[in-house]
Structure 1
Amino acid sequence: MSEELTAAVRYGRYAAIRRRMLTEASRRIPLASLAQQARALSLWDGKQVTPADEMQLAAVFDLGVLDPLGEHGRAIDRQARAEAPPPGSEEHRMLQALAEASFGLWRIHGPHPEGGVRAESFPDGEELVIWDRFLDRGRAPGALVGARIARPEEDLPMTCGAVVSLDSRAVERLLLGTPPQRGPVFPSLPLTDDGPSLERLVAEPATRLRLAALARTPGFAATVYRTAIDLGLMGPVIGRSPGAAQSP
Protein backbone atom coordinates (compact mmCIF):
# COMPACT_ATOMS: atom_id res chain seq x y z
CA MET A 1 0.00 0.00 0.00
CA SER A 2 1.44 3.36 -0.96
CA GLU A 3 2.49 5.53 1.96
CA GLU A 4 1.23 8.54 -0.02
CA LEU A 5 -2.37 7.53 0.66
CA THR A 6 -3.80 8.96 3.87
CA ALA A 7 -5.30 6.72 6.51
CA ALA A 8 -8.73 8.15 5.69
CA VAL A 9 -8.41 7.21 2.01
CA ARG A 10 -7.14 3.74 2.83
CA TYR A 11 -9.94 3.26 5.33
CA GLY A 12 -12.53 4.16 2.72
CA ARG A 13 -11.15 1.55 0.34
CA TYR A 14 -10.97 -1.16 2.98
CA ALA A 15 -14.42 -0.27 4.34
CA ALA A 16 -15.99 -0.99 0.96
CA ILE A 17 -14.15 -4.32 0.74
CA ARG A 18 -15.12 -5.22 4.32
CA ARG A 19 -18.77 -4.48 3.70
CA ARG A 20 -18.83 -6.62 0.58
CA MET A 21 -16.97 -9.52 2.19
CA LEU A 22 -19.16 -9.57 5.29
CA THR A 23 -22.31 -9.43 3.16
CA GLU A 24 -21.14 -12.29 0.95
CA ALA A 25 -19.97 -14.34 3.93
CA SER A 26 -23.30 -13.84 5.73
CA ARG A 27 -24.99 -15.66 2.85
CA ARG A 28 -22.80 -18.68 3.59
CA ILE A 29 -24.01 -19.16 7.18
CA PRO A 30 -25.82 -22.53 7.34
CA LEU A 31 -29.35 -22.35 8.69
CA ALA A 32 -28.43 -24.56 11.67
CA SER A 33 -25.65 -22.15 12.63
CA LEU A 34 -27.83 -19.10 12.07
CA ALA A 35 -30.47 -20.62 14.33
CA GLN A 36 -27.98 -21.37 17.11
CA GLN A 37 -26.50 -17.88 17.08
CA ALA A 38 -29.92 -16.21 17.04
CA ARG A 39 -31.25 -18.55 19.74
CA ALA A 40 -28.32 -17.65 21.99
CA LEU A 41 -29.32 -13.99 21.66
CA SER A 42 -33.06 -14.70 22.15
CA LEU A 43 -33.66 -13.54 18.57
CA TRP A 44 -35.13 -16.76 17.14
CA ASP A 45 -38.82 -17.65 17.01
CA GLY A 46 -38.33 -21.31 16.11
CA LYS A 47 -38.31 -20.69 12.36
CA GLN A 48 -36.37 -17.49 11.66
CA VAL A 49 -34.27 -14.69 13.09
CA THR A 50 -36.48 -12.01 14.64
CA PRO A 51 -34.45 -8.82 14.93
CA ALA A 52 -36.20 -5.62 15.94
CA ASP A 53 -33.44 -3.48 14.43
CA GLU A 54 -30.35 -3.68 12.23
CA MET A 55 -27.83 -3.95 15.07
CA GLN A 56 -29.51 -7.04 16.49
CA LEU A 57 -29.27 -8.66 13.07
CA ALA A 58 -25.65 -7.51 12.78
CA ALA A 59 -24.85 -9.27 16.06
CA VAL A 60 -26.32 -12.54 14.79
CA PHE A 61 -24.32 -12.28 11.56
CA ASP A 62 -21.16 -11.30 13.45
CA LEU A 63 -21.32 -14.59 15.33
CA GLY A 64 -22.22 -16.70 12.32
CA VAL A 65 -19.54 -15.19 10.11
CA LEU A 66 -16.66 -14.70 12.54
CA ASP A 67 -17.28 -16.37 15.90
CA PRO A 68 -20.02 -19.03 15.91
CA LEU A 69 -21.13 -20.85 19.02
CA GLY A 70 -21.22 -24.63 19.02
CA GLU A 71 -19.37 -26.78 16.51
CA HIS A 72 -20.31 -24.67 13.51
CA GLY A 73 -17.63 -23.50 11.10
CA ARG A 74 -17.09 -19.83 10.37
CA ALA A 75 -18.71 -18.38 7.30
CA ILE A 76 -15.64 -16.20 6.71
CA ASP A 77 -13.63 -19.38 6.15
CA ARG A 78 -16.23 -20.62 3.67
CA GLN A 79 -15.97 -17.29 1.91
CA ALA A 80 -12.18 -17.57 1.74
CA ARG A 81 -12.38 -21.03 0.19
CA ALA A 82 -15.04 -20.02 -2.30
CA GLU A 83 -13.53 -16.71 -3.44
CA ALA A 84 -9.87 -16.52 -2.47
CA PRO A 85 -8.52 -13.07 -3.38
CA PRO A 86 -5.09 -12.61 -4.97
CA PRO A 87 -2.28 -12.75 -2.37
CA GLY A 88 -1.00 -9.31 -1.42
CA SER A 89 -4.11 -7.50 -2.63
CA GLU A 90 -6.24 -5.21 -0.47
CA GLU A 91 -8.95 -7.86 -0.60
CA HIS A 92 -6.52 -10.47 0.71
CA ARG A 93 -5.39 -8.21 3.56
CA MET A 94 -8.99 -7.45 4.50
CA LEU A 95 -9.96 -11.10 4.42
CA GLN A 96 -7.04 -12.04 6.68
CA ALA A 97 -7.89 -9.19 9.03
CA LEU A 98 -11.49 -10.37 9.34
CA ALA A 99 -10.36 -13.94 9.94
CA GLU A 100 -8.07 -12.73 12.75
CA ALA A 101 -10.37 -10.06 14.21
CA SER A 102 -10.82 -10.07 17.99
CA PHE A 103 -13.74 -8.89 20.10
CA GLY A 104 -13.19 -6.58 23.05
CA LEU A 105 -14.50 -3.72 25.17
CA TRP A 106 -13.55 -0.16 24.30
CA ARG A 107 -14.12 3.30 25.73
CA ILE A 108 -14.77 5.99 23.15
CA HIS A 109 -13.22 9.45 23.56
CA GLY A 110 -14.37 11.34 20.49
CA PRO A 111 -13.07 12.03 16.99
CA HIS A 112 -9.36 12.04 16.19
CA PRO A 113 -8.13 15.17 14.36
CA GLU A 114 -6.80 13.11 11.44
CA GLY A 115 -9.86 10.87 11.22
CA GLY A 116 -11.19 7.87 13.08
CA VAL A 117 -12.19 7.82 16.73
CA ARG A 118 -9.92 8.05 19.76
CA ALA A 119 -10.47 5.04 21.99
CA GLU A 120 -8.86 2.85 24.63
CA SER A 121 -9.25 -0.79 25.48
CA PHE A 122 -11.15 -1.57 28.66
CA PRO A 123 -10.01 -2.26 31.31
CA ASP A 124 -6.28 -2.05 30.47
CA GLY A 125 -6.41 1.40 28.84
CA GLU A 126 -4.37 0.78 25.68
CA GLU A 127 -4.95 3.78 23.41
CA LEU A 128 -5.73 3.47 19.73
CA VAL A 129 -7.63 5.13 16.90
CA ILE A 130 -10.54 3.03 15.62
CA TRP A 131 -11.73 3.71 12.09
CA ASP A 132 -15.52 3.78 11.99
CA ARG A 133 -17.54 6.73 10.72
CA PHE A 134 -20.38 6.18 13.17
CA LEU A 135 -18.63 4.90 16.30
CA ASP A 136 -18.83 8.11 18.32
CA ARG A 137 -22.15 9.29 16.92
CA GLY A 138 -24.58 9.83 19.78
CA ARG A 139 -22.05 8.58 22.34
CA ALA A 140 -20.63 10.80 25.07
CA PRO A 141 -16.87 10.81 25.70
CA GLY A 142 -15.98 7.82 27.86
CA ALA A 143 -18.85 5.69 26.56
CA LEU A 144 -18.25 1.94 26.63
CA VAL A 145 -18.87 -0.32 23.63
CA GLY A 146 -18.26 -3.92 22.65
CA ALA A 147 -16.86 -4.38 19.15
CA ARG A 148 -14.76 -6.72 17.05
CA ILE A 149 -11.64 -5.09 15.61
CA ALA A 150 -9.87 -6.07 12.39
CA ARG A 151 -6.55 -4.65 11.20
CA PRO A 152 -6.00 -4.84 7.44
CA GLU A 153 -3.02 -2.58 8.12
CA GLU A 154 -1.39 -1.96 11.48
CA ASP A 155 -2.53 1.66 11.68
CA LEU A 156 -6.11 0.92 10.56
CA PRO A 157 -8.04 -0.82 13.37
CA MET A 158 -11.58 -1.16 12.00
CA THR A 159 -14.87 -2.38 13.40
CA CYS A 160 -16.52 -5.40 11.79
CA GLY A 161 -20.13 -4.28 11.57
CA ALA A 162 -21.61 -4.96 15.01
CA VAL A 163 -21.01 -2.41 17.78
CA VAL A 164 -23.03 -2.62 20.99
CA SER A 165 -23.39 0.11 23.62
CA LEU A 166 -22.62 -0.99 27.18
CA ASP A 167 -22.39 0.48 30.65
CA SER A 168 -21.41 -0.48 34.20
CA ARG A 169 -24.51 -2.64 34.62
CA ALA A 170 -23.35 -4.84 31.76
CA VAL A 171 -19.78 -5.04 33.08
CA GLU A 172 -21.07 -6.00 36.53
CA ARG A 173 -23.13 -8.84 35.03
CA LEU A 174 -20.13 -10.04 33.03
CA LEU A 175 -17.97 -10.10 36.16
CA LEU A 176 -20.65 -11.89 38.17
CA GLY A 177 -21.23 -14.44 35.42
CA THR A 178 -24.94 -13.62 35.34
CA PRO A 179 -26.67 -16.23 33.15
CA PRO A 180 -28.89 -15.20 30.24
CA GLN A 181 -32.20 -13.77 31.36
CA ARG A 182 -35.53 -14.88 29.94
CA GLY A 183 -37.87 -12.21 31.27
CA PRO A 184 -39.24 -9.09 29.60
CA VAL A 185 -36.85 -6.62 27.97
CA PHE A 186 -37.42 -2.90 28.39
CA PRO A 187 -35.36 -0.68 26.06
CA SER A 188 -32.79 1.31 27.99
CA LEU A 189 -30.11 3.85 27.14
CA PRO A 190 -26.64 3.36 28.63
CA LEU A 191 -26.15 5.05 31.97
CA THR A 192 -24.84 8.60 31.74
CA ASP A 193 -21.78 9.84 33.65
CA ASP A 194 -20.90 6.18 34.05
CA GLY A 195 -17.11 6.56 34.10
CA PRO A 196 -16.70 6.54 37.90
CA SER A 197 -18.87 3.42 38.21
CA LEU A 198 -16.84 1.64 35.54
CA GLU A 199 -13.60 2.54 37.28
CA ARG A 200 -14.89 1.32 40.65
CA LEU A 201 -15.86 -2.01 39.13
CA VAL A 202 -12.31 -2.66 37.91
CA ALA A 203 -10.40 -0.85 40.65
CA GLU A 204 -8.86 -4.07 41.99
CA PRO A 205 -6.07 -5.61 39.88
CA ALA A 206 -7.62 -9.05 40.31
CA THR A 207 -10.90 -7.81 38.84
CA ARG A 208 -9.12 -6.28 35.87
CA LEU A 209 -7.33 -9.56 35.26
CA ARG A 210 -10.61 -11.44 35.50
CA LEU A 211 -12.28 -9.21 32.92
CA ALA A 212 -9.28 -9.48 30.61
CA ALA A 213 -9.42 -13.27 30.96
CA LEU A 214 -13.14 -13.27 30.18
CA ALA A 215 -12.43 -11.36 26.97
CA ARG A 216 -10.19 -14.24 25.85
CA THR A 217 -12.84 -16.86 26.59
CA PRO A 218 -14.58 -18.49 23.61
CA GLY A 219 -18.08 -17.12 23.25
CA PHE A 220 -17.30 -13.79 24.93
CA ALA A 221 -18.86 -11.75 22.13
CA ALA A 222 -22.08 -13.74 22.35
CA THR A 223 -22.14 -13.24 26.12
CA VAL A 224 -21.69 -9.49 25.72
CA TYR A 225 -24.40 -9.27 23.06
CA ARG A 226 -26.85 -11.26 25.17
CA THR A 227 -26.07 -9.18 28.26
CA ALA A 228 -26.75 -5.98 26.32
CA ILE A 229 -29.96 -7.46 24.92
CA ASP A 230 -31.21 -8.53 28.35
CA LEU A 231 -30.55 -5.01 29.70
CA GLY A 232 -32.45 -3.43 26.81
CA LEU A 233 -29.29 -1.74 25.49
CA MET A 234 -29.95 -3.13 22.01
CA GLY A 235 -33.56 -1.96 21.93
CA PRO A 236 -36.81 -3.91 22.13
CA VAL A 237 -36.80 -7.66 21.55
CA ILE A 238 -39.62 -9.34 19.68
CA GLY A 239 -41.37 -11.77 21.99
CA ARG A 240 -39.79 -10.23 25.09
CA SER A 241 -40.64 -6.53 24.89
CA PRO A 242 -44.28 -5.48 25.21
CA GLY A 243 -45.53 -4.15 21.89
CA ALA A 244 -42.34 -4.92 19.98
CA ALA A 245 -42.98 -5.52 16.29
CA GLN A 246 -40.60 -7.11 13.81
CA SER A 247 -38.80 -4.76 11.43
CA PRO A 248 -40.15 -4.92 7.86
Structure 2
Amino acid sequence: MSDDQTPAARYLRYAAIRRSLLSAASQRIPLASVASQARALTLWDGKQVRPADEMQLAAVFDLGVLDPVGGHGRAIERQARAEPPLPGSEEDRMLRALGEARFGLYRILGPRAEGGVSAEAFPDGRPLVIWDNHLTRNRAPGALVGLRLAFPDEDLAMTCGTAISLDSRVLERLLLGTPPQRGPVIPNLPRPEDGPALERLMAEAAARLRLAALAAAPGFAAKVTRTALDLGLMGPVLGRTPADLLAQG
Protein backbone atom coordinates (compact mmCIF):
# COMPACT_ATOMS: atom_id res chain seq x y z
CA MET A 1 0.00 0.00 0.00
CA SER A 2 1.44 3.37 -0.99
CA ASP A 3 1.92 5.99 1.71
CA ASP A 4 -0.93 8.14 0.40
CA GLN A 5 -3.37 5.20 0.61
CA THR A 6 -2.74 4.18 4.21
CA PRO A 7 -5.72 4.67 6.55
CA ALA A 8 -3.89 7.51 8.30
CA ALA A 9 -3.22 9.37 5.05
CA ARG A 10 -6.75 8.86 3.75
CA TYR A 11 -8.17 9.99 7.08
CA LEU A 12 -6.31 13.29 6.87
CA ARG A 13 -7.66 13.97 3.38
CA TYR A 14 -11.20 12.94 4.26
CA ALA A 15 -11.13 14.92 7.51
CA ALA A 16 -10.51 18.15 5.59
CA ILE A 17 -13.32 17.31 3.16
CA ARG A 18 -15.66 16.37 6.02
CA ARG A 19 -14.99 19.67 7.76
CA SER A 20 -15.70 21.63 4.57
CA LEU A 21 -18.92 19.72 3.79
CA LEU A 22 -20.33 19.97 7.31
CA SER A 23 -19.52 23.68 7.47
CA ALA A 24 -21.23 24.32 4.14
CA ALA A 25 -24.25 22.20 5.09
CA SER A 26 -24.64 24.01 8.42
CA GLN A 27 -25.28 27.20 6.47
CA ARG A 28 -28.25 25.50 4.80
CA ILE A 29 -30.21 24.71 7.98
CA PRO A 30 -33.43 26.79 7.97
CA LEU A 31 -34.00 28.88 11.08
CA ALA A 32 -37.13 26.89 11.85
CA SER A 33 -35.06 23.71 11.97
CA VAL A 34 -32.34 25.33 14.09
CA ALA A 35 -35.05 26.38 16.54
CA SER A 36 -36.55 22.87 16.65
CA GLN A 37 -33.21 21.22 17.36
CA ALA A 38 -32.30 23.76 20.03
CA ARG A 39 -35.72 23.48 21.70
CA ALA A 40 -35.36 19.70 21.81
CA LEU A 41 -32.11 20.18 23.72
CA THR A 42 -33.37 23.11 25.89
CA LEU A 43 -30.79 25.37 24.23
CA TRP A 44 -33.26 27.90 22.76
CA ASP A 45 -34.14 31.15 24.52
CA GLY A 46 -37.17 31.98 22.36
CA LYS A 47 -35.20 33.89 19.75
CA GLN A 48 -31.87 32.15 19.25
CA VAL A 49 -29.68 29.22 20.22
CA ARG A 50 -28.24 29.81 23.69
CA PRO A 51 -25.45 27.29 24.28
CA ALA A 52 -23.02 27.40 27.19
CA ASP A 53 -20.11 26.27 25.01
CA GLU A 54 -19.08 25.22 21.52
CA MET A 55 -19.91 21.56 22.10
CA GLN A 56 -23.56 22.38 22.84
CA LEU A 57 -23.77 24.57 19.75
CA ALA A 58 -22.18 21.78 17.69
CA ALA A 59 -24.84 19.36 18.99
CA VAL A 60 -27.60 21.62 17.65
CA PHE A 61 -25.98 21.87 14.22
CA ASP A 62 -25.18 18.15 14.17
CA LEU A 63 -28.89 17.38 14.42
CA GLY A 64 -29.86 20.01 11.86
CA VAL A 65 -27.34 18.78 9.31
CA LEU A 66 -27.60 15.02 9.75
CA ASP A 67 -30.53 13.93 11.94
CA PRO A 68 -33.15 16.63 12.63
CA VAL A 69 -36.17 16.27 14.87
CA GLY A 70 -39.51 17.94 14.21
CA GLY A 71 -40.04 16.70 10.67
CA HIS A 72 -37.38 18.95 9.12
CA GLY A 73 -35.25 17.93 6.14
CA ARG A 74 -31.55 17.22 6.49
CA ALA A 75 -29.18 19.99 5.55
CA ILE A 76 -26.65 17.46 4.22
CA GLU A 77 -29.18 16.58 1.52
CA ARG A 78 -29.62 20.26 0.66
CA GLN A 79 -25.85 20.51 0.36
CA ALA A 80 -25.73 17.48 -1.95
CA ARG A 81 -28.35 18.99 -4.26
CA ALA A 82 -26.81 22.46 -4.26
CA GLU A 83 -23.18 21.47 -4.84
CA PRO A 84 -22.92 17.90 -6.11
CA PRO A 85 -19.28 16.77 -6.24
CA LEU A 86 -17.62 14.93 -9.10
CA PRO A 87 -18.94 11.34 -9.07
CA GLY A 88 -16.39 8.88 -7.71
CA SER A 89 -14.21 11.57 -6.16
CA GLU A 90 -13.18 11.57 -2.51
CA GLU A 91 -15.58 14.51 -2.02
CA ASP A 92 -18.37 12.36 -3.45
CA ARG A 93 -17.52 9.41 -1.19
CA MET A 94 -17.35 11.63 1.89
CA LEU A 95 -20.66 13.30 1.07
CA ARG A 96 -22.37 9.95 0.57
CA ALA A 97 -20.87 8.67 3.79
CA LEU A 98 -22.20 11.66 5.71
CA GLY A 99 -25.64 11.05 4.25
CA GLU A 100 -25.53 7.44 5.47
CA ALA A 101 -23.88 8.11 8.84
CA ARG A 102 -25.60 6.58 11.86
CA PHE A 103 -25.50 7.49 15.55
CA GLY A 104 -24.63 4.75 18.02
CA LEU A 105 -23.01 3.91 21.35
CA TYR A 106 -19.36 2.85 21.61
CA ARG A 107 -16.78 2.08 24.26
CA ILE A 108 -13.37 3.66 23.73
CA LEU A 109 -10.48 1.31 24.46
CA GLY A 110 -7.50 3.52 23.64
CA PRO A 111 -5.29 4.96 20.90
CA ARG A 112 -3.44 2.72 18.45
CA ALA A 113 0.25 3.20 17.67
CA GLU A 114 -0.50 3.07 13.94
CA GLY A 115 -3.26 5.64 14.22
CA GLY A 116 -6.93 5.65 15.02
CA VAL A 117 -8.68 4.54 18.21
CA SER A 118 -9.53 1.00 19.26
CA ALA A 119 -13.19 0.79 20.19
CA GLU A 120 -16.11 -1.59 20.41
CA ALA A 121 -19.77 -1.16 19.63
CA PHE A 122 -21.98 -1.18 22.71
CA PRO A 123 -23.40 -3.48 23.90
CA ASP A 124 -22.49 -6.20 21.38
CA GLY A 125 -18.72 -5.71 21.73
CA ARG A 126 -18.05 -5.67 17.98
CA PRO A 127 -14.47 -4.35 17.59
CA LEU A 128 -13.64 -1.50 15.25
CA VAL A 129 -11.10 1.24 14.67
CA ILE A 130 -12.42 4.80 14.77
CA TRP A 131 -10.46 7.62 13.20
CA ASP A 132 -10.62 10.79 15.28
CA ASN A 133 -7.72 12.83 16.62
CA HIS A 134 -9.54 13.91 19.79
CA LEU A 135 -11.63 10.91 20.82
CA THR A 136 -9.37 9.71 23.62
CA ARG A 137 -8.81 13.18 25.07
CA ASN A 138 -9.92 13.17 28.75
CA ARG A 139 -11.49 9.73 28.31
CA ALA A 140 -10.23 6.68 30.15
CA PRO A 141 -10.22 3.22 28.52
CA GLY A 142 -13.72 1.77 28.65
CA ALA A 143 -15.44 5.16 28.44
CA LEU A 144 -18.90 5.08 26.86
CA VAL A 145 -19.62 7.65 24.14
CA GLY A 146 -22.44 8.42 21.77
CA LEU A 147 -21.28 9.39 18.30
CA ARG A 148 -22.05 9.20 14.62
CA LEU A 149 -19.81 7.22 12.25
CA ALA A 150 -19.33 7.75 8.54
CA PHE A 151 -17.53 5.32 6.22
CA PRO A 152 -16.11 7.11 3.16
CA ASP A 153 -14.17 3.91 2.51
CA GLU A 154 -15.29 0.51 3.69
CA ASP A 155 -12.31 0.17 6.04
CA LEU A 156 -12.35 3.73 7.41
CA ALA A 157 -14.77 4.65 10.23
CA MET A 158 -14.72 8.39 10.90
CA THR A 159 -16.62 10.42 13.45
CA CYS A 160 -18.88 13.20 12.21
CA GLY A 161 -20.61 15.58 14.56
CA THR A 162 -20.21 15.57 18.31
CA ALA A 163 -18.90 12.74 20.52
CA ILE A 164 -20.88 12.79 23.77
CA SER A 165 -19.49 11.33 26.99
CA LEU A 166 -22.04 9.04 28.66
CA ASP A 167 -22.35 6.72 31.63
CA SER A 168 -24.73 4.17 33.15
CA ARG A 169 -27.15 6.90 34.32
CA VAL A 170 -27.85 7.85 30.72
CA LEU A 171 -28.33 4.23 29.73
CA GLU A 172 -30.68 3.60 32.64
CA ARG A 173 -32.89 6.56 31.71
CA LEU A 174 -32.99 5.44 28.08
CA LEU A 175 -34.02 1.91 29.03
CA LEU A 176 -36.68 3.16 31.45
CA GLY A 177 -38.07 5.62 28.91
CA THR A 178 -37.55 8.53 31.30
CA PRO A 179 -39.03 11.63 29.65
CA PRO A 180 -36.89 14.75 29.11
CA GLN A 181 -36.34 16.70 32.30
CA ARG A 182 -36.93 20.42 32.85
CA GLY A 183 -35.34 20.85 36.26
CA PRO A 184 -31.96 22.22 37.29
CA VAL A 185 -28.84 20.93 35.53
CA ILE A 186 -25.85 20.34 37.82
CA PRO A 187 -22.65 19.95 35.77
CA ASN A 188 -20.74 16.77 36.51
CA LEU A 189 -18.45 14.22 34.90
CA PRO A 190 -19.30 10.69 33.77
CA ARG A 191 -18.95 8.13 36.51
CA PRO A 192 -15.44 6.65 36.63
CA GLU A 193 -14.96 2.90 36.38
CA ASP A 194 -18.55 2.55 35.22
CA GLY A 195 -18.06 -0.73 33.37
CA PRO A 196 -19.66 -3.04 35.96
CA ALA A 197 -22.79 -0.86 36.13
CA LEU A 198 -23.08 -0.86 32.34
CA GLU A 199 -22.71 -4.64 32.25
CA ARG A 200 -25.44 -5.09 34.88
CA LEU A 201 -27.83 -2.94 32.89
CA MET A 202 -27.16 -5.00 29.76
CA ALA A 203 -27.21 -8.40 31.43
CA GLU A 204 -30.77 -9.24 30.38
CA ALA A 205 -31.63 -9.98 26.75
CA ALA A 206 -34.71 -7.75 27.09
CA ALA A 207 -32.50 -4.75 27.89
CA ARG A 208 -30.31 -5.39 24.85
CA LEU A 209 -33.36 -5.67 22.63
CA ARG A 210 -34.81 -2.49 24.10
CA LEU A 211 -31.60 -0.57 23.43
CA ALA A 212 -31.37 -1.93 19.88
CA ALA A 213 -34.94 -0.80 19.20
CA LEU A 214 -34.21 2.67 20.58
CA ALA A 215 -31.06 2.97 18.45
CA ALA A 216 -32.97 1.98 15.31
CA ALA A 217 -35.80 4.46 15.89
CA PRO A 218 -35.79 8.05 14.62
CA GLY A 219 -34.56 10.65 17.09
CA PHE A 220 -32.09 8.44 18.97
CA ALA A 221 -29.25 10.96 18.70
CA ALA A 222 -31.45 13.76 20.03
CA LYS A 223 -32.70 11.54 22.86
CA VAL A 224 -29.17 10.58 23.95
CA THR A 225 -27.93 14.16 23.70
CA ARG A 226 -30.87 15.54 25.69
CA THR A 227 -30.40 12.91 28.41
CA ALA A 228 -26.69 13.77 28.69
CA LEU A 229 -27.60 17.47 28.93
CA ASP A 230 -30.22 16.81 31.62
CA LEU A 231 -27.65 14.91 33.67
CA GLY A 232 -25.05 17.68 33.38
CA LEU A 233 -22.63 15.56 31.34
CA MET A 234 -22.35 18.31 28.72
CA GLY A 235 -21.71 21.06 31.24
CA PRO A 236 -23.99 23.84 32.48
CA VAL A 237 -27.17 24.71 30.59
CA LEU A 238 -28.01 28.41 30.55
CA GLY A 239 -31.36 29.00 32.20
CA ARG A 240 -31.28 25.63 33.97
CA THR A 241 -28.00 25.63 35.88
CA PRO A 242 -28.11 27.64 39.15
CA ALA A 243 -26.40 31.02 38.89
CA ASP A 244 -23.86 30.24 41.62
CA LEU A 245 -22.63 27.21 39.67
CA LEU A 246 -22.41 29.23 36.48
CA ALA A 247 -20.32 31.80 38.34
CA GLN A 248 -17.95 29.06 39.51
CA GLY A 249 -17.43 27.98 35.90
Q: Structure 1 length normalisation: TM-score?
A: 0.96
**Within 5 Å, which residues of 2 pair with 1:82-121?**
82-121=82-121
Aligned to 1:129: 129
Aligned to 1:240: 240
Aligned to 2:44: 44
Give the count of matched residue pairs: 245
**Within 5 Å, which residues of 2 pair with 1:217-228?**
217-228=217-228
Q: CA deviation at 1:210?
A: 1.1
Q: CA deviation at 1:60?
A: 0.5
Q: CA deviation at 1:30?
A: 0.2
Which residue identity lines up with residue 176 of structure 1 in the other structure?
L
8 Å Cα contact 1:55-1:163 kept in structure 2: no
Which residue identity lines up with residue 181 of structure 1 in the other structure?
Q
SS at match of 2:59: helix
What CA distance in whole angstroms lies between the structure 2 residues aligned with 1:58 and 1:223? 16
What CA distance in whole angstroms lies between the structure 2 residues aligned with 1:165 and 1:48? 25
Which has the larger helix fraction? 2
8 Å Cα contact 2:120-2:128 kept in structure 1: yes
What CA distance in whole angstroms lies between the structure 2 residues aligned with 1:175 and 1:2? 46
Query: 1:208/1:115 Cα in 2 relative to 1: closer, same or farther (>3 Å)?
Result: same
Runs of 4 or more above 3 Å deviation:
1-4
What per-residue deviation string (whole Å, max 9, x for no partner) do you get for residues 86-134 of structure 1? 0000000000000000000000000122111000111111110000000
What per-residue deviation string (whole Å, max 9, x for no partner) do you get for residues 195-246 of structure 1? 000000000112111111110010000000000000000000011112338x
What CA distance in whole angstroms lies between the structure 1 residues aligned with 2:220 and 2:25? 21
Which residue identity lines up with residue 50 of structure 2 in the other structure?
T
In angstroms, what is the RMSD of aligned CA positions?
1.3
SS at match of 1:49: coil
8 Å Cα contact 1:166-1:190 kept in structure 2: yes
Q: Structure 2 length normalisation: TM-score?
A: 0.96
8 Å Cα contact 2:4-2:10 kept in structure 1: no
What per-residue deviation string (whole Å, max 9, x for no partner) do you get for residues 144-197 of structure 1? 000000000011101112110000000000000110000010101000010000
Q: CA deviation at 1:10?
A: 0.4
Q: CA deviation at 1:70?
A: 1.6
Q: CA deviation at 1:4?
A: 5.4
Aligned to 1:63: 63
Which residue identity lines up with residue 74 of structure 2 in the other structure?
R
1:213 aligns with 2:199: no
Which residue identity lines up with residue 111 of structure 2 in the other structure?
P
Q: CA deviation at 1:3?
A: 8.0
Aligned to 2:177: 177
8 Å Cα contact 2:3-2:9 kept in structure 1: no
What per-residue deviation string (whole Å, max 9, x for no partner) do you get for residues 20-51 of structure 1? 10011001000000000000000000000011
